[in-house]
Amino acid sequence: MLALDTDSIAVDSHPGMECFSAGADCGFRRFLLGTARDAIRGAEIIPALRKARLRVAAVAGPRSHPGEDRGEPVAARLAAPERAVRERAQVLLAEAAVLASRLGGAALTLELGRLPLIDAAPGVDEDARRAASRDQALDRVLPRIFDCLGRFPEVVLAVEIAGTRQAWPQPGDLEIVLSELAHPRLGWWFDTARAWRLERTAGVPSAVWFERHRDRLRGATLCDAADSGEDGLPLGSGAVDFGLYREHRSAGLVEVVRIGARFSPGALQESRRFLEGLGIV
């Protein structure tokens, strides 16, 4: 199921719900509702989608207001030390789950962001500090994920993989998350550019992500990047090896194309043709 991230469409040239018609013009009938379109995250988009025979297959977890926290992912705030911050994040996450439910059970992706590190005692090495920080974050995050799954039985939650040393979940973290919360509607979400970047900067082979819980993979973001650090390139024009993903993908996944909104619609069409050449479409 190929879909387009609505954040791939420039907001200034295609404001509001025009992103859907622009994507349809490039051959996409399914979408991931990205975070740049918060203004249309309401019930009014549902009749418009039905009329155009389009579908939102996934919803990106919301971001908090930039004035409050630099616009970090709401799911990252579920691990915050302050109870009030965690409770506010849970409210925002529930609002996103309501939308995903109204959209016919669209998957809801969760970006956990930077792992909040705790203060360590003298002599404690960095690995031990990170493990303790992760355990503390899990104690705060998992109950809220479980609560969301219980309140919204139509929604599938998918935890996005990390793309930097500072972010989580790393492969070992993901194993713990999925093992601790073995819920049939909790899975994970792959990202080609993040996996490539983590392999390049931290030496984590991209294939490691697929060694466990392949049956709980719910979708993937297909994105390209350059050695220079530039992200969101048209697929096939950067350094990411899509052959590895093609080798490990399975039927029934939501596969989302994402390129930078700075590129023209022609770049989306080229990206689609690139995937067709790989046999992914």
Three-class SS of 237-277: CCCCCHHHHHHHCCCCCEEEECCCCCCCHHHHHHHHHHHHH
pLDDT higher than threshold 90 for residue 24: yes
In this prediction, residue 28 carries a pLDDT of 95
pLDDT at 66 over 50: no
pLDDT of 150 > 60? The answer is: yes
Each residue of 219-269: pLDDT tens digit?
999 999 999 888 899 999 999 999 999 999 988 899 999 999 999 989 999
Structure-block tokens of residue 200: 């390049």
pLDDT value, residue 111: 87
Beta carbons of 183 and 154 less than 8 angstroms apart: no
Give the chain's radius of gyration (CA, Å).
18
Q: By percentage, how much of the chain surpasses pLDDT 70?
A: 92
CA–CA dist 250, 182 (Å, integer): 20
Q: Which tokens hold the place of 32?
A: 């991931």
How many Cα neighbours within 13 Å face the side chain of 39?
Answer: 8
What is the structure's pLDDT at 240? 95
Q: Which two structure tokens, joined as six digits, stand for 26?
A: 């490039």
Query: Helices 18-25 and 45-52: crossing angle, nearest 10°?
Result: 20
Hunting for tokens 């993901």 — which residue is that? 174
> Using alpha carbons only, what angle is made at residue 201 by residues 217 and 133, rounded to the nearest 5 degrees?
70
Select, from the ranges 38-42, 89-93, 138-142, the one with the highest average predicted confidence (pLDDT). Answer: 138-142
Provide the pLDDT for residue 64.
56
Is the Cβ–Cβ distance between 272 and 281 less than 8 Å?
Answer: yes
Mean pLDDT score of the chain = 87
Domains belonging to the chain, first-starting first, are 2-278 (3.20.20.150)
Given a contact cutoff of 8 angstroms between Cβ atoms, the answer to whether 217 and 250 are in contact is yes
Which band of pLDDT confidence, cut at 50, 70 and 90, is reported for residue 168? confident
Burial class of residue 73 in the structure, from the number of CB atoms within 10 Å of its CB (0-12 exposed, 13-18 middle, 19+ buried): buried
Confidence grade of residue 39 (pLDDT, cut at 50, 70, 90): low
Say if residue 202's pLDDT is above 60.
Answer: yes
Question: Quick one: which of 237, 211, 242 has its CA closest to 226?
Answer: 237
Distance CA 253, CA 134 (A): 28
Question: At 210, which amino acid appears?
Answer: F
Res 213: pLDDT: 87
Between these two residues, 269 and 73, which has the higher pLDDT value?
A: 269
Residue 235 has a pLDDT of 96
The DSSP letter of residue 161 is P
Whether 69 has a pLDDT exceeding 80, the answer reads no
Per-residue confidence (pLDDT) for residue 120, from 0 to 100: 65
pLDDT band at residue 210 using 50, 70 and 90 as cut-offs: very high
Position 38 scores a pLDDT of: 62
| Model confidence, pTM | 0.91
Q: Is the pLDDT of residue 70 over 60?
A: no
DSSP string, 43-89: TTHHHHHHHHT-EEEEEEPPB--HHHHTT-BHHHHTT-SSHHHHHHH
Q: Are 233 and 243 in contact (CB under 8 A)?
A: no
